[in-house]
Structure 1
């Protein structure tokens, strides 16, 4: 059956009339109440208030509520891009030595002219890729969607003078990469740090590429922790951030300087802080339920506004609540004022600690104090991962402290982050916890003669190093005591109450108590000279403890001087060259490579050194008698020797005297202490440690018989940093490949 044209027209007319009656208009005015909207909320808590969207018109109105910051920007990529576009020179202005490179406005690479203008600083550089594809196309003024960032991935780019900025909301990618080539890449260095902004930690990754004219710098910020950074060669711009998961925000910056001077990390920390402070966040904290609604004619629709003050500092925050049509036109706006007051519990600052691989657990006690008149109950829970972070006090009531335990036993060198969530009544707080595991760089082992301990010098280039205290029972680090810049040697005092450390850069002597493991004093050394270029790989100073308060040390000049120093009076008593017993000899002729004392501290031995590249090869064996007051007399020296294993180099060969004083070993040979030219045993290689009685000698690659010098055992790991325990049980050595100590059991 078919309908007639007249009937069909009547039906259509009826439908139109029904639609007209039910139509909800957009673009008409509504009124938000209250106006203004005000919140007072404690930091770490949330506050809500009902709002009404009133419609004075004769037709229903559909509306959508949007939260904006004080500059009317939403907390979206669009709002972020607008903030960057209108930032003036906030971001790029403070950048030192900024080079306003070309490119970065369109396409997929930033190509830049070098000082001669003949070729690019980068070759197909600054390409942005992920595990889902790439490179991404630069947008410069718009936000774009891209499945290369995940199913709901979105991003923008913006080129400012001398600064390229990329921002993205990712959805499930596992790695992000900056790719390209440095046309004249020469060297690079990298660093990582963290930025705390409004209660959230950001991971930051920096790479500084140096060519022959400029430095090309990357900074990547990610709102996720536990990530890794991998780099390409010196001519590769590759910087890959791995370990990403879930929905993340990622920002990348490209900044080039006008010189090859590498900027300090503080420059990039400042850039990260300025950028995060620029982003509109108010809209992510002010939410509405429901967001969309409808107000009938001459009526009102309701919603609930909620402000989340988690992680916010005390202060006043301003924004706007906007009602707009579904098409985006503004219907009404109301200012929002948020007064964030003190949290109910005065939270401790973020926990940031540095430890070393294998160090014993560290307990951190954090005060928990109520800001209210009454005590506050609280509970604590560790975030993931928790293998290295343990809550020792999972609950309590103020002022009972919160105790955490940090355990680096299973951790390799790197930065590890987590958080402790504190709940108290309606409040939720987070205390960020970060643990940086420093790479070991042991340059010296010294066994304690009477206790089950081994001391180690852990260098940090030319910066502050540490004295490590190892237990020979647990084989873990019991203590790590900062001493001074570039420590190079240590020795135990005659009474065993101190370990003296010599710091080559400064220079100074640091005394560490063996009962408290605290620094007792640090004595600046005015009688210390260095003619070296200060490369951290060059020979360092040496120290040995004499009787009472006397120490003997060797400095770092071309011909290192031997000095006698009274630590009690801080008096320099004598200065010697390796030429004679005349003091003071402050010339720069032949000096000392290392020194050692017999157990009675009545004789001092050494070997001759002059220069460490140029200078003079060969060496001699040197001897002094030690007087009752610790000063030296009766200088003697052997003939000059120069052979494959008895030469000035290697510079790290120690002077070794057996525990009973019967055996003296210098470089590759046993030396008669009374006749320095008589060498009853010559080993196949330089010797770095011996058993307490000298029965066995250990080189960097093998263990030798103490009497015949035959090879008893080839070492699986070559190491010149070593010692033998006083009980003969093990050789302790440093594995430079794995950056870890090794313990080789010695047969009975």
Structure 2
């Protein structure tokens, strides 16, 4: 093909197959030399014509080409120029060869396909495409539309985004806010990372001086936290670090649910007789103890056999202001297993403590003290505990304090009190946990870190309630932020929303239960 200075081609497999080369436009209208060789075994006919209306297909025919012969077409054209070929018979492909004195490009043609050859002012392109009357013919003067990878989709991890175009020397500009890009936006040079949860719309355009800008490419990339579908709202959960499992209770379906964090799946669901509201784990005997709503029993559940082994008599009447159909049952009762004793916090106006000695099947009531326990954190010796103060449900006293009680033969003895009260320390939210660190030096309650030996000494106030601690991996979490354990500096943002409960596993991964969509999300904290 006379006038070509540089020739190359790129082949696409799929919807569009084309080859392109850059040429220096000749001063005169060039002659296009097109060689077709027929080795199909039958006579074939090519249709060829120029386009004045690029949406129509030419019907002019060239002479028939007999098998074993070449046919060479030389046409004088004004660029851009389109040729159209159809091959519908035979069994062996033929080819089109474009050549000049310096180089040659060969394009194999397949049976039952339509082809277009476009000679542009600065390039030629060869398309494999189904072309019919009214179909739009590609514009050789327009830059090829960029390709964004990955394409639109939903992912559970950060994505590296790359943008390419098949037009040589094109400059790509892109946006990530959904707006249409132009040359004032970010110029693409290297792949970039999307790691923000939610939906990001990437748009890109490619431009070359003297050519029509490309169409705008769009990819909508959704990044979600990875999660386990737990199937229903869960009332309470406890984490078993030794087996890397979560034990949970489903109030409405009256079930014990076991979740395997290794397989990221629900392992089993076992029916219960009563509606469960809180549970505690006895790791030594691999069993659960479950508080029930509207019953006179505490249920013992064996995790090895996945069966109820006994119902232990215990009765406590919730205060009338506590709604039995609310979704916050685990705010009302609390149960903890400590060295053969079940400690139970009831949900009366000023919640009190009860102790069931499992070896003697006896119950000790600490109701006379009216101590108003919100949640419990026991010392390793099991002879003392810390609690935050609660009086009332919705109404009552809006303030709170952290208190320490010693457990003795004569009952409970208060041995420490933060003495903050209202408005400095709030009673709500009622689902606030309390944590005693392993060294028993710090107490985490509500928004504060207290000196466990002197509760009136506050190490730090986060300004938001703490819901999980991980002393081994030095992490503390509220429902919005992860902090460093010793310095209290912010480490990361919590990326789940509408969190009901949360915990760190032994590897430092943060797990978040959201009953709104019945999922247990997990977030790796660096």
Normalised TM-score (structure 1): 0.37
**Shift of residue 700 of structure 1?**
1.1
225, 241, 248: which one aligns with 1:456: 248
Q: Which residue number in structure 2 is paired with residue 493 of structure 1?
A: 282
1:56-82: CA deviations, max 9, x gaps?
A: xxxxxxxxxxxxxxxxxxxxxxxxxxx
**Shift of residue 645 of structure 1?**
8.1
Q: Which residue number in structure 1 is paired with residue 420 of structure 2?
A: 641
**Shift of residue 529 of structure 1?**
4.3
662, 672, 683: which one aligns with 2:451: 672
8 Å CA contact 2:366, 2:411 repeated in 1: no
Q: How does 1:542-621 map to 2 (within 5 A)?
A: 542-548=334-340, 550-576=341-367, 584-585=368-369, 589=370, 591-621=372-402
Q: Does 1:466 align with 2:255?
A: yes
**Shift of residue 660 of structure 1?**
5.0
Once residues 511 and 273 of structure 2 are traced to their aligned partners in structure 1, the CA distance between those partners, rounded to angstroms, is: 24
CA pair 443-599 structure 1, distance change in 2 beyond 3 A: farther
CA pair 693-660 structure 1, distance change in 2 beyond 3 A: farther
What are structure 1's unaligned runs of at least 5 residues?
1-409, 413-437, 577-583
1:541-588: CA deviations, max 9, x gaps?
A: 00011112x110111111111111123433211314xxxxxxx44xxx
Partner secondary structure for residue 676 of structure 1: strand
Could you say which structure has the greater relative contact order, defined with CA pairs below 8 angstroms and 6 or more residues apart? 1
Q: How does 1:135-534 map to 2 (within 5 A)?
A: 439-460=231-252, 465-493=254-282, 495-531=284-320, 532-534=322-324
CA pair 472-458 structure 1, distance change in 2 beyond 3 A: same
**Shift of residue 685 of structure 1?**
0.7
404, 417, 441: which one aligns with 1:623: 404
333, 354, 361: which one aligns with 1:541: 333
8 Å CA contact 1:699, 1:720 repeated in 2: no
Corresponding residue pairs, total: 296
Q: When you count helix as a share of all residues, which structure comes out higher?
A: 1
8 Å CA contact 1:692, 1:724 repeated in 2: no
What are structure 2's unaligned runs of at least 5 residues?
1-226
8 Å CA contact 1:730, 1:743 repeated in 2: yes
8 Å CA contact 2:239, 2:245 repeated in 1: yes
Normalised TM-score (structure 2): 0.52
Once residues 664 and 683 of structure 1 are traced to their aligned partners in structure 2, the CA distance between those partners, rounded to angstroms, is: 13
8 Å CA contact 1:530, 1:555 repeated in 2: no
Partner secondary structure for residue 656 of structure 1: strand
Partner secondary structure for residue 326 of structure 2: coil
Q: Which residue number in structure 2 is paired with residue 713 of structure 1?
A: 492
**Shift of residue 491 of structure 1?**
1.4
**Shift of residue 625 of structure 1?**
2.5
Larger Rg belongs to? 2
CA pair 746-645 structure 1, distance change in 2 beyond 3 A: farther
8 Å CA contact 2:470, 2:508 repeated in 1: no
Q: Which residue number in structure 1 is paired with residue 188 of structure 2?
A: none
8 Å CA contact 1:443, 1:457 repeated in 2: yes
**Shift of residue 691 of structure 1?**
0.4
Q: Which residue number in structure 2 is paired with residue 46 of structure 1?
A: none
CA pair 600-411 structure 1, distance change in 2 beyond 3 A: closer
1:17-68: CA deviations, max 9, x gaps?
A: xxxxxxxxxxxxxxxxxxxxxxxxxxxxxxxxxxxxxxxxxxxxxxxxxxxx
**Shift of residue 535 of structure 1?**
3.5
**Shift of residue 644 of structure 1?**
7.2
